[in-house]
Amino acid sequence: MPTVSSEELAAAAGVNSAKLRKDFSYLGSYGTRGVGYDVEYLVYQISRELGLTQDWPVVIVGIGNLGAALANYGGFASRGFRVAALIDADPAMAGKPVAGIPVQHADELERIIQDNGVSIGVIATPAGAAQAVCDRLVGAGVTSILNFAPTVLTVPDGVDVRKVDLSIELQILAFHEQRKAGEEAHADGAGPAAARRTGTGSDASADQGPDGDVPAVMPA
């Protein structure tokens, strides 16, 4: 299929076709009226706009379970990310290969960042070490930080931080789960295990993902 219409894409993505067209229009006029969008060209343009065609060297600091999991994660390469280095404070880790990349000691942090022109750092250390690591990353020139440690980081202006809290997604599921259970039996003491499988609770939103559908506070 060399070409695709906004209607088809919208159906596949589960959104309105007008919204899709309007969004695409911000990138420029890449469609052809009466025909649709050229798939290859469209993919390229979106990839470019999103930064997928660039090579982003990334360092991961803190090679515990989570750091190792990230180093092994396959999805990075296809999105333009390259794990430039793994860094850990434990001297015993130094030289040990994880996911085929040798772990380097934290002393080398500044040199590694500068040698590789790294602008994105991932923090997977314990909470206590996160701010210090963050400060060193920023000092060495990193301007974007992905933080897995359960701490809010303080950074100077111009540096982006995104915090990933693995338990927040669970929280959201539990919130919905609670609503499912409390649909009829509003007895407050009933544990979540009590009323499982509440028929066909047709949950309108079928999208899987962190955006949308976040449980702000809802009417009782």
Binding-site annotation: residue ranges for NAD(+):
62-67
Cα–Cα distance for residue pair 1/16, rounded to 1 Å? 22
Least distance from DNA to the Cβ atom of residue 14, Å: 10
Output 97 or 150, the one with its CB closest to a copy of itself: 150
Binding site partner of 5, from a copy of itself, DNA, none, Cβ cut-off 5-8 A by kind = DNA
Contact 38, 3 (CB under 8 A): yes
| Mutual angle of helices 127-140 and 109-116, in 10-degree steps | 50
Residue type, 67: G
Least distance from a copy of itself to the Cβ atom of residue 83, Å: 11
Residue 142 neighbours by CB under 8 Å, 6+ apart: 59, 113, 118, 119, 120, 121, 159
Output 97 or 215, the one with its CB closest to a copy of itself: 215
Cα–Cα distance for residue pair 51/71, rounded to 1 Å? 21
Supply the DSSP symbol for 201: -
Is 196 an interacting residue with respect to a copy of itself (CB under 8 A)? yes
Output 28 or 34, the one with its CB closest to a copy of itself: 28
Is 184 an interacting residue with respect to a copy of itself (CB under 8 A)? no
Supply the DSSP symbol for 31: E
> Which region among 7-15, 51-59, 88-96, 100-108 touches a copy of itself (by CB under 8 A)?
51-59
Chain positions contacting DNA, by CB under 7 A: 4-7, 15-19, 21-22, 24-25, 29-37, 216
Contact 95, 103 (CB under 8 A): yes
Binding site partner of 15, from DNA, a copy of itself, none, Cβ cut-off 5-8 A by kind = DNA
Annotated binding residues: 62-67
Is 210 an interacting residue with respect to a copy of itself (CB under 8 A)? yes
Q: Which residue, chain included where needed, has tokens 């070409």?
A: 3
Output 18 or 194, the one with its CB closest to DNA: 18
Binding site partner of 73, from a copy of itself, DNA, none, Cβ cut-off 5-8 A by kind = a copy of itself
Contact 79, 50 (CB under 8 A): no
Cα–Cα distance for residue pair 10/4, rounded to 1 Å? 10
Among residues 4, 10, 68, 101, the one that binds a copy of itself under rule CB under 8 A: 68
